[in-house]
Amino acid sequence: MGSMSLPKELPTINFSLEDLKPGSSSWVSTCKQVRYALEEYGCFIALYQQVSPQLMDNIFGQSRDLFEVPLENKVKNTSEEPYRGYIGPNPLMPLYEGMAIDNVTCPPETQKFRDIMWASWKVQIL
Protein backbone atom coordinates (compact mmCIF):
# COMPACT_ATOMS: atom_id res chain seq x y z
CA MET A 1 0.00 0.00 0.00
CA GLY A 2 1.44 3.39 -1.04
CA SER A 3 1.35 6.39 1.20
CA MET A 4 0.02 9.74 0.14
CA SER A 5 2.71 12.42 0.26
CA LEU A 6 1.95 16.08 0.80
CA PRO A 7 3.45 18.69 -1.52
CA LYS A 8 6.47 20.51 -0.15
CA GLU A 9 5.06 23.84 -1.23
CA LEU A 10 1.93 25.21 -2.86
CA PRO A 11 2.24 26.50 -6.42
CA THR A 12 2.79 30.26 -6.70
CA ILE A 13 1.26 32.08 -9.68
CA ASN A 14 2.32 35.60 -10.65
CA PHE A 15 -0.59 37.80 -11.76
CA SER A 16 1.59 40.92 -11.96
CA LEU A 17 2.96 40.22 -15.44
CA GLU A 18 2.79 43.35 -17.62
CA ASP A 19 1.45 41.57 -20.70
CA LEU A 20 -1.17 39.49 -18.87
CA LYS A 21 -4.04 40.31 -21.21
CA PRO A 22 -6.76 37.90 -22.42
CA GLY A 23 -5.57 35.99 -25.44
CA SER A 24 -1.85 36.71 -24.97
CA SER A 25 0.67 33.88 -24.58
CA SER A 26 1.28 34.88 -20.94
CA TRP A 27 -2.50 34.79 -20.33
CA VAL A 28 -2.78 31.27 -21.77
CA SER A 29 0.25 30.11 -19.78
CA THR A 30 -1.12 31.61 -16.55
CA CYS A 31 -4.53 30.01 -17.17
CA LYS A 32 -2.81 26.63 -17.52
CA GLN A 33 -0.93 27.20 -14.26
CA VAL A 34 -4.18 28.08 -12.45
CA ARG A 35 -5.97 25.04 -13.81
CA TYR A 36 -3.11 22.71 -12.88
CA ALA A 37 -2.82 24.18 -9.38
CA LEU A 38 -6.56 23.85 -8.74
CA GLU A 39 -6.73 20.32 -10.13
CA GLU A 40 -3.66 19.09 -8.25
CA TYR A 41 -3.70 21.13 -5.01
CA GLY A 42 -7.13 22.76 -4.81
CA CYS A 43 -5.49 26.15 -4.25
CA PHE A 44 -2.43 28.25 -4.99
CA ILE A 45 -0.56 31.31 -3.78
CA ALA A 46 -1.38 34.35 -5.91
CA LEU A 47 1.24 37.04 -6.40
CA TYR A 48 -0.16 40.41 -7.38
CA GLN A 49 2.20 43.25 -6.59
CA GLN A 50 -0.38 45.98 -7.21
CA VAL A 51 -1.94 45.11 -3.83
CA SER A 52 -0.04 46.77 -1.00
CA PRO A 53 1.04 44.83 2.10
CA GLN A 54 -1.11 47.20 4.19
CA LEU A 55 -4.22 46.34 2.15
CA MET A 56 -3.47 42.62 2.49
CA ASP A 57 -3.10 43.02 6.27
CA ASN A 58 -6.42 44.90 6.41
CA ILE A 59 -8.23 42.26 4.34
CA PHE A 60 -6.96 39.37 6.45
CA GLY A 61 -7.64 41.29 9.67
CA GLN A 62 -11.24 41.92 8.64
CA SER A 63 -11.63 38.30 7.55
CA ARG A 64 -10.47 37.18 10.98
CA ASP A 65 -13.14 39.40 12.58
CA LEU A 66 -15.78 37.88 10.31
CA PHE A 67 -14.90 34.28 11.18
CA GLU A 68 -14.97 35.12 14.90
CA VAL A 69 -18.68 36.02 14.63
CA PRO A 70 -20.78 33.64 16.78
CA LEU A 71 -22.01 30.52 14.98
CA GLU A 72 -25.64 31.39 15.72
CA ASN A 73 -25.22 34.53 13.58
CA LYS A 74 -23.30 32.82 10.77
CA VAL A 75 -25.93 30.12 10.20
CA LYS A 76 -28.51 32.85 9.53
CA ASN A 77 -26.62 33.72 6.34
CA THR A 78 -28.58 31.49 3.95
CA SER A 79 -29.15 31.40 0.22
CA GLU A 80 -31.34 29.64 -2.32
CA GLU A 81 -28.21 29.04 -4.44
CA PRO A 82 -26.11 25.94 -3.69
CA TYR A 83 -22.77 26.53 -1.94
CA ARG A 84 -23.77 30.07 -1.00
CA GLY A 85 -24.53 31.62 2.36
CA TYR A 86 -22.73 30.01 5.29
CA ILE A 87 -21.10 26.62 4.91
CA GLY A 88 -19.82 25.30 8.20
CA PRO A 89 -17.46 22.55 9.21
CA ASN A 90 -18.50 18.97 8.53
CA PRO A 91 -16.98 15.59 9.41
CA LEU A 92 -14.97 15.47 6.17
CA MET A 93 -13.65 19.03 6.54
CA PRO A 94 -13.73 19.91 10.24
CA LEU A 95 -11.75 23.16 9.84
CA TYR A 96 -13.63 24.49 6.81
CA GLU A 97 -15.89 27.52 6.90
CA GLY A 98 -17.15 29.49 3.95
CA MET A 99 -19.40 32.52 3.60
CA ALA A 100 -20.84 34.33 0.63
CA ILE A 101 -22.78 37.54 0.23
CA ASP A 102 -25.40 37.29 -2.50
CA ASN A 103 -25.29 40.30 -4.84
CA VAL A 104 -22.21 41.71 -3.11
CA THR A 105 -22.22 44.83 -5.31
CA CYS A 106 -25.71 45.78 -4.12
CA PRO A 107 -25.50 48.00 -1.00
CA PRO A 108 -28.80 46.74 0.52
CA GLU A 109 -27.53 43.13 0.28
CA THR A 110 -24.23 43.94 1.96
CA GLN A 111 -26.13 45.85 4.65
CA LYS A 112 -28.36 42.80 5.17
CA PHE A 113 -25.25 40.62 5.55
CA ARG A 114 -23.73 43.05 8.07
CA ASP A 115 -26.96 43.17 10.07
CA ILE A 116 -27.04 39.35 10.26
CA MET A 117 -23.38 38.93 11.19
CA TRP A 118 -23.16 41.75 13.72
CA ALA A 119 -26.73 41.79 15.06
CA SER A 120 -25.52 42.49 18.61
CA TRP A 121 -23.27 45.29 17.31
CA LYS A 122 -26.30 46.97 15.70
CA VAL A 123 -28.04 47.06 19.09
CA GLN A 124 -24.96 48.52 20.79
CA ILE A 125 -24.72 51.54 18.48
CA LEU A 126 -28.33 52.65 19.03
Pair (40, 78) in one structural domain: no
Domain extent for 21:
9-50
CB 89: neighbour CB atoms within 10 A? 12
Q: What average pLDDT does range 81-101 have in this prediction?
A: 86
pLDDT greater than 80 at residue 124: no
Kindly report the pTM of this predicted structure.
Answer: 0.55
Same domain, 44 and 89: no
pLDDT at position 6: 54
CB 41 within 8 A of CB 9: no
Position 101 confidence tier, pLDDT thresholds 50, 70, 90: confident
> Mean pLDDT of all residues in the chain?
84
- What's the pLDDT at 32? 96
Asked if 15 and 43 sit in the same domain, the reply is yes
Query: Which comes out higher in pLDDT, residue 6 or 76?
Result: 76
pLDDT of 120 > 90? The answer is no
Concatenating the DSSP letter of every residue in 2-56 gives --PPPPSS--EEE---TT--TTSHHHHHHHHHHHHHHHHTS--EEE-TTS-HHHH
Local confidence band at 126 (pLDDT 50, 70, 90 cut-offs): very low
Asked if the structure places residue 17 within a domain, the reply is yes
Contact 41, 7 (CB under 8 A): yes
124 and 73 together in one domain = yes
